[in-house]
Amino acid sequence: MTDQTETFSDKLLGFTIPARNARGKAVRLDRAIDEILAAHDYPPAITHLLAEALVLATLIGGLLKDESGQLTMQAQTEGGVVRLLVCDYRNGQLRGYVDFDRERLTELGANPPLSALFGKGYLAITFDMAGGEGRYQGIVPLEGETLAEACEAYFGQSEQIPTLIRVAARAGEDGCTAGGLLVQHLPDGEEGRERLHARMDHPEWEHVVALAGSTRHEELIDPALSLEALVWRLFHEEEEVRVQPGAPIARGCRCSAEHYEQIIARFPEEDRADMRDENGMILIDCAFCSKVFEIEA
Ligand SMILES: [Zn+2]
């Protein structure tokens, strides 16, 4: 039952379960993630971490109603092995990088838990609306076993929206595949309204959690299972599930020579003189895509 209109990878799928006041997003990243990782030389633990973060940024960014809005996810630590992790999503364009201590990472061994990677830190999730129409930021402590758990805590604490998130990633010789599912309860039936009494034990939501919580990691990254089939598997007993295939997802960086020229121009001449190399150029590399720009300033 494979049909070309089904969603397999590098595309976001949205769905709603009207009778339960629930909505969700599902995504599987394949080529997009390989292209992002190709710009870096990350060890397996960091590859895995960034893959999960990119899936989360896509799932959460996909909630933005306004296509030109931007979602930025940033995990920052105090003295952690991972110093900084940044991912952002805008209109199907995704990018991310990790700044970490290579030496200390090797001491952690294979599959270090989140707490070992980050130590004490926090997760900031920022929504920038299009056209400078505002910015909303929520910050939660970086706790739990996975980044997905920290994101669930963000929705619970910062937005009072009961949310379930599952993410899986697998890196092999033929590249990396990562997938995820996000489901939320919007009991008022209205998105974006303030919910003062969000209930994690609402019967509708408990039911959705029981179904969505049965998602297995292998299903999220199985290239032969379409996202429609996955949603159907989980929720086929519901009277109605509406699916909306969404935007294609691709690696996208917004770095440009003009952008860096503007930044450099803001520095005092004294500082610019220190930055110049023997040829009088200032070299800047983009942390997201590792591209190097030669700025004549
Ligand atoms: Zn770039």
DSSP secondary structure string for all residues of 176-206: EEEEEEEEEE-TTS-TT---TT--TT-HHHH
Alpha carbon distances (Å) from 141 to 88, 146, 151, 164: 19, 12, 10, 18
Q: Name, in order, each residue with C-beta under 8 angstroms of 206's C-beta and a sequence gap of 6 or more.
A: none
User: CA nearest 87: which of 288, 255, 284, 247?
Assistant: 288
pLDDT for res 200 = 76
pTM: 0.92
Give me ligand 1 centre to Cα 268, in Å. 25
Give me ligand 1 centre to Cα 116, in Å. 29
Give me ligand 1 centre to Cα 182, in Å. 28
Give me ligand 1 centre to Cα 225, in Å. 32
CB neighbour class for 173 (10 Å; exposed up to 12, middle 13-18, buried from 19): exposed
Could you give the residue range(s) of every CATH 3.55.30.10 domain in the chain? 11-251
The C-alpha atoms of residue 72 and residue 32 are separated, in whole angstroms, by: 17
Asked whether the beta carbons of 118 and 49 are under 8 A apart, the reply is no
Give me ligand 1 centre to Cα 286, in Å. 5
Asked whether the beta carbons of 99 and 84 are under 8 A apart, the reply is yes
The C-alpha atoms of residue 101 and residue 105 are separated, in whole angstroms, by: 6
CB neighbour class for 238 (10 Å; exposed up to 12, middle 13-18, buried from 19): middle
Give me ligand 1 centre to Cα 28, in Å. 23
pLDDT for res 2 = 46
Question: Dihedral, CA atoms, 137, 179, 213, 73, nearest 10 degrees?
Answer: -10
Q: What CATH number labels 11-251?
A: 3.55.30.10
Pair of tokens at residue 270: 């004294």
Give me ligand 1 centre to Cα 289, in Å. 4
Q: Could you list the pLDDT tens digit for every one of the 297 residues in the chain?
A: 445 589 999 999 999 999 999 999 999 999 999 999 999 999 999 999 999 999 999 999 999 988 889 999 999 998 899 999 999 999 999 999 999 999 999 999 888 888 899 999 999 999 998 777 789 999 999 988 899 999 999 999 888 899 999 999 998 888 999 999 999 998 765 554 545 556 778 899 999 999 999 999 999 999 999 999 999 999 999 999 999 988 899 999 989 999 999 999 999 999 999 999 999 999 999 999 999 999 987
Give me ligand 1 centre to Cα 90, in Å. 14
Pair of tokens at residue 105: 């990472």
Asked whether the beta carbons of 203 and 58 are under 8 A apart, the reply is no
Element spanning 110, H or E: none
Give me ligand 1 centre to Cα 95, in Å. 8
Asked whether the beta carbons of 129 and 91 are under 8 A apart, the reply is no
pLDDT for res 87 = 97
